[in-house]
Amino acid sequence: MSPLLDTPIEFKSWICLICGWIYNEAEGAPNDGLPPGTRWADVPTDWRCPECDVSKDDFVLSEF
């Protein structure tokens, strides 16, 4: 088996600076049109936070 196939895919989380809602790439946001596994880079630029309606620009990478 290839070593690349044995390497787990690392998903990241992004947190809204305004309301604290967390976007987890592994979970996506299916109710908002983002299926599980959707990377942050693939979230449309016009997407809005489902809790407080701010833009994608108001999210930061959660590094804890």
Question: Cα–Cα distances in Å, from 42 out to 2, 4, 31, 34, 49?
Answer: 27, 22, 16, 9, 15
Q: How high is the pLDDT of residue 3?
A: 55
d(CA 18, CA 30): 21
Q: Is the pTM of this model over 0.85?
A: no
pLDDT in tens, 15-64: 999 999 999 999 999 999 999 999 999 999 999 999 999 999 999 999 76
Check residue 44 and report its DSSP letter.
Answer: -
Of residues 4 and 25, more confidently modeled: 25
| Closest by CA position to 21, among listed 49, 63, 40, 42 | 49
Query: E strands, 1-64, where?
Result: 13-16, 22-24, 59-62
